[in-house]
Protein backbone atom coordinates (compact mmCIF):
# COMPACT_ATOMS: atom_id res chain seq x y z
CA UNK A 1 0.00 0.00 0.00
CA UNK A 2 1.07 3.59 -0.57
CA UNK A 3 1.47 5.53 2.68
CA UNK A 4 2.32 9.23 2.85
CA UNK A 5 4.04 10.23 6.10
CA UNK A 6 3.28 13.89 6.76
CA UNK A 7 5.08 16.09 9.28
CA UNK A 8 6.04 19.69 10.01
CA UNK A 9 9.12 19.97 7.82
CA UNK A 10 8.73 23.69 6.99
CA UNK A 11 6.59 26.16 8.94
CA UNK A 12 7.07 29.01 6.43
CA UNK A 13 4.35 27.87 4.03
CA UNK A 14 1.55 29.97 5.52
CA UNK A 15 -0.12 33.23 4.50
CA UNK A 16 0.39 34.94 7.87
CA UNK A 17 1.92 34.14 11.23
CA UNK A 18 -0.43 34.59 14.17
CA UNK A 19 -1.28 33.16 17.56
CA UNK A 20 0.77 30.63 19.45
CA UNK A 21 3.46 28.97 17.30
CA UNK A 22 3.77 25.22 17.66
CA UNK A 23 6.58 24.39 20.13
CA UNK A 24 6.74 20.69 19.15
CA UNK A 25 7.99 18.85 16.10
CA UNK A 26 9.37 15.39 15.36
CA UNK A 27 12.97 15.41 14.17
CA UNK A 28 13.75 14.05 10.72
CA UNK A 29 15.48 10.98 12.16
CA UNK A 30 12.25 9.92 13.88
CA UNK A 31 10.21 10.52 10.72
CA UNK A 32 12.63 8.53 8.59
CA UNK A 33 12.60 5.65 11.09
CA UNK A 34 8.80 5.45 10.81
CA UNK A 35 9.02 5.48 7.02
CA UNK A 36 11.69 2.77 7.13
CA UNK A 37 9.51 0.57 9.37
CA UNK A 38 6.60 0.96 6.94
CA UNK A 39 8.86 0.06 4.02
CA UNK A 40 10.04 -3.05 5.85
CA UNK A 41 6.38 -4.01 6.09
CA UNK A 42 6.15 -3.91 2.31
CA UNK A 43 4.60 -0.46 1.89
CA UNK A 44 5.61 2.28 -0.53
CA UNK A 45 6.16 5.49 1.44
CA UNK A 46 6.53 9.20 0.83
CA UNK A 47 7.74 11.88 3.26
CA UNK A 48 5.69 15.05 2.94
CA UNK A 49 5.85 18.38 4.76
CA UNK A 50 2.63 20.09 5.83
CA UNK A 51 1.53 23.65 5.16
CA UNK A 52 -1.23 25.34 3.14
CA UNK A 53 -0.10 23.54 -0.04
CA UNK A 54 0.30 20.10 1.55
CA UNK A 55 -2.02 18.24 -0.83
CA UNK A 56 -0.05 18.62 -4.07
CA UNK A 57 2.53 15.89 -3.51
CA UNK A 58 0.38 13.24 -1.70
CA UNK A 59 -2.39 13.77 -4.27
CA UNK A 60 -0.09 12.65 -7.10
CA UNK A 61 1.47 9.92 -4.99
CA UNK A 62 -1.83 8.29 -4.01
CA UNK A 63 -3.85 8.96 -7.17
CA UNK A 64 -5.75 5.77 -8.10
CA UNK A 65 -4.87 4.01 -11.34
CA UNK A 66 -8.46 2.78 -11.52
CA UNK A 67 -11.61 3.06 -9.45
CA UNK A 68 -10.95 -0.24 -7.65
CA UNK A 69 -7.39 0.61 -6.56
CA UNK A 70 -7.06 1.88 -2.95
CA UNK A 71 -6.05 5.51 -2.71
CA UNK A 72 -3.53 4.78 0.00
CA UNK A 73 -3.23 6.11 3.53
CA UNK A 74 -1.75 9.09 5.34
CA UNK A 75 0.38 8.57 8.45
CA UNK A 76 0.02 11.95 10.16
CA UNK A 77 2.93 13.01 12.38
CA UNK A 78 2.26 16.75 12.06
CA UNK A 79 1.63 18.87 15.12
CA UNK A 80 0.43 21.80 13.03
CA UNK A 81 2.14 25.15 12.59
CA UNK A 82 0.30 27.67 14.72
CA UNK A 83 -2.85 28.60 16.58
CA UNK A 84 -4.71 27.27 19.59
CA UNK A 85 -6.17 24.26 17.74
CA UNK A 86 -3.22 23.40 15.49
CA UNK A 87 -3.45 19.64 16.10
CA UNK A 88 -6.82 19.64 14.36
CA UNK A 89 -5.65 21.37 11.17
CA UNK A 90 -4.06 18.49 9.26
CA UNK A 91 -6.71 15.89 10.28
CA UNK A 92 -9.45 18.32 9.18
CA UNK A 93 -7.71 18.99 5.85
CA UNK A 94 -7.31 15.25 5.26
CA UNK A 95 -10.97 14.69 6.08
CA UNK A 96 -11.99 17.45 3.67
CA UNK A 97 -9.85 15.97 0.89
CA UNK A 98 -11.15 12.45 1.46
CA UNK A 99 -7.78 11.00 2.44
CA UNK A 100 -7.83 8.02 4.76
CA UNK A 101 -5.58 8.48 7.76
CA UNK A 102 -4.08 6.17 10.39
CA UNK A 103 -5.06 8.36 13.32
CA UNK A 104 -7.86 10.13 15.14
CA UNK A 105 -10.03 12.74 13.47
CA UNK A 106 -10.13 16.50 14.12
CA UNK A 107 -12.71 16.23 16.91
CA UNK A 108 -10.62 13.77 18.92
CA UNK A 109 -7.49 15.91 18.47
CA UNK A 110 -9.37 19.03 19.55
CA UNK A 111 -10.71 17.35 22.68
CA UNK A 112 -7.31 15.91 23.60
CA UNK A 113 -5.55 19.25 23.16
CA UNK A 114 -7.88 20.86 25.72
CA UNK A 115 -6.80 19.24 28.96
CA UNK A 116 -9.69 20.72 30.93
CA UNK A 117 -12.36 19.28 28.64
CA UNK A 118 -10.49 15.96 28.62
CA UNK A 119 -10.50 15.77 32.42
CA UNK A 120 -14.19 16.65 32.59
CA UNK A 121 -15.04 13.94 30.08
CA UNK A 122 -12.97 11.45 32.07
CA UNK A 123 -14.83 12.35 35.24
CA UNK A 124 -18.19 12.10 33.50
CA UNK A 125 -17.27 8.49 32.71
CA UNK A 126 -16.63 7.81 36.39
CA UNK A 127 -12.86 7.48 36.07
CA UNK A 128 -10.59 9.01 38.74
CA UNK A 129 -8.43 11.99 37.82
CA UNK A 130 -6.54 14.41 40.11
CA UNK A 131 -8.50 17.37 41.50
CA UNK A 132 -7.90 20.51 39.47
CA UNK A 133 -8.66 24.15 38.82
CA UNK A 134 -8.24 26.47 35.85
CA UNK A 135 -6.14 29.51 36.77
CA UNK A 136 -4.50 32.45 35.05
CA UNK A 137 -3.70 35.32 37.42
CA UNK A 138 -2.41 33.66 40.56
CA UNK A 139 -5.03 35.42 42.65
CA UNK A 140 -7.67 32.75 42.19
CA UNK A 141 -8.47 30.49 45.12
CA UNK A 142 -6.95 27.02 44.98
CA UNK A 143 -9.90 25.76 47.00
CA UNK A 144 -9.26 22.31 48.43
CA UNK A 145 -6.25 21.60 46.21
CA UNK A 146 -3.22 20.44 48.16
CA UNK A 147 0.47 20.99 47.44
CA UNK A 148 2.48 19.77 45.65
CA UNK A 149 0.70 20.69 42.42
CA UNK A 150 1.33 20.24 38.72
CA UNK A 151 0.91 23.41 36.65
CA UNK A 152 0.66 23.11 32.87
CA UNK A 153 -0.68 25.07 29.88
CA UNK A 154 -4.26 24.19 29.01
CA UNK A 155 -3.66 23.72 25.27
CA UNK A 156 -0.20 22.14 24.90
CA UNK A 157 1.17 18.61 24.62
CA UNK A 158 4.39 16.67 25.18
CA UNK A 159 4.82 18.13 28.68
CA UNK A 160 5.42 21.64 27.31
CA UNK A 161 5.52 24.14 30.16
CA UNK A 162 4.82 21.56 32.88
CA UNK A 163 6.01 22.63 36.34
CA UNK A 164 5.90 21.06 39.80
CA UNK A 165 5.25 23.56 42.60
CA UNK A 166 5.32 23.14 46.38
CA UNK A 167 4.06 26.49 47.65
CA UNK A 168 1.91 29.49 46.75
CA UNK A 169 4.83 31.67 45.60
CA UNK A 170 5.99 28.98 43.16
CA UNK A 171 2.42 28.61 41.90
CA UNK A 172 2.13 32.32 41.10
CA UNK A 173 5.48 32.25 39.32
CA UNK A 174 4.51 29.16 37.31
CA UNK A 175 1.24 30.80 36.24
CA UNK A 176 3.10 33.92 35.11
CA UNK A 177 5.45 31.81 32.98
CA UNK A 178 2.59 29.98 31.29
CA UNK A 179 0.57 33.13 30.57
CA UNK A 180 3.65 34.97 29.27
CA UNK A 181 5.10 32.14 27.20
CA UNK A 182 1.95 30.36 26.00
CA UNK A 183 -0.74 33.09 26.23
CA UNK A 184 -3.38 30.78 27.71
CA UNK A 185 -4.96 29.53 30.92
CA UNK A 186 -3.19 27.06 33.15
CA UNK A 187 -4.45 23.73 34.41
CA UNK A 188 -3.50 23.34 38.07
CA UNK A 189 -3.96 19.87 39.55
CA UNK A 190 -2.80 17.93 42.55
CA UNK A 191 0.41 15.96 42.04
CA UNK A 192 -0.05 12.21 42.18
CA UNK A 193 2.97 10.10 43.08
CA UNK A 194 3.30 6.93 41.04
CA UNK A 195 4.36 5.27 37.81
CA UNK A 196 3.28 6.44 34.36
CA UNK A 197 2.20 3.70 31.97
CA UNK A 198 1.38 4.35 28.31
CA UNK A 199 -1.29 2.12 26.75
CA UNK A 200 -1.61 2.16 22.95
CA UNK A 201 -4.82 0.90 21.36
CA UNK A 202 -5.11 -0.21 17.73
CA UNK A 203 -8.43 -0.50 15.93
CA UNK A 204 -11.96 0.85 16.04
CA UNK A 205 -14.82 -1.44 17.05
CA UNK A 206 -12.51 -4.27 18.15
CA UNK A 207 -9.44 -2.88 19.90
CA UNK A 208 -6.03 -4.50 20.16
CA UNK A 209 -4.02 -3.50 23.23
CA UNK A 210 -0.37 -3.07 22.29
CA UNK A 211 2.48 -3.78 24.76
CA UNK A 212 2.56 -1.40 27.73
CA UNK A 213 5.35 1.16 27.92
CA UNK A 214 6.52 2.79 31.18
CA UNK A 215 7.85 6.34 31.07
CA UNK A 216 11.10 6.66 33.02
CA UNK A 217 11.49 10.19 34.43
CA UNK A 218 14.52 9.41 36.55
CA UNK A 219 14.81 12.08 39.26
CA UNK A 220 13.15 14.84 37.22
CA UNK A 221 9.83 14.60 39.08
CA UNK A 222 11.55 15.39 42.39
120 with 181, same domain: the answer is yes
pLDDT at 66: 43
Query: Given 59, 82, 103, which residue is the final one in a domain?
Result: 103
178 inside domain: yes
What is the tens place of the pLDDT at every residue in 89-144?
888 888 887 787 877 889 988 898 899 999 999 999 999 999 999 999 888 889 89
Q: Is the pLDDT of residue 87 over 80?
A: yes
121 with 95, same domain: the answer is no
Range of the domain at 165: 114-190
66 with 128, same domain: the answer is no
pTM for the whole structure? 0.77
What is the tens place of the pLDDT at every residue in 147-176?
999 999 999 887 889 999 999 999 999 999
119 with 175, same domain: the answer is yes
90 with 144, same domain: the answer is no
- CATH number of residue 183's parent domain: 3.30.1490.20
Q: Is the pLDDT of residue 59 over 70?
A: no
What is the total count of domains within the chain?
Answer: 2
Distance linking the first and last C-alpha atoms of the chain: 47
95 with 122, same domain: the answer is no
Of 17 and 129, which is predicted with more confidence?
Answer: 129
Q: Is the pLDDT of residue 67 over 60?
A: no
Amino acid sequence: MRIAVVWNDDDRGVINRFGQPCPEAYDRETIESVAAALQEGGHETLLCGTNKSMFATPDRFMAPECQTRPLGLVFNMAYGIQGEWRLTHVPAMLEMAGSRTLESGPLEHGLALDKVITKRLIRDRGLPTPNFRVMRHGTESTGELRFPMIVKPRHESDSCGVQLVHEAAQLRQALEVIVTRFAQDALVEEYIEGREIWVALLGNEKLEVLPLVEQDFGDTAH
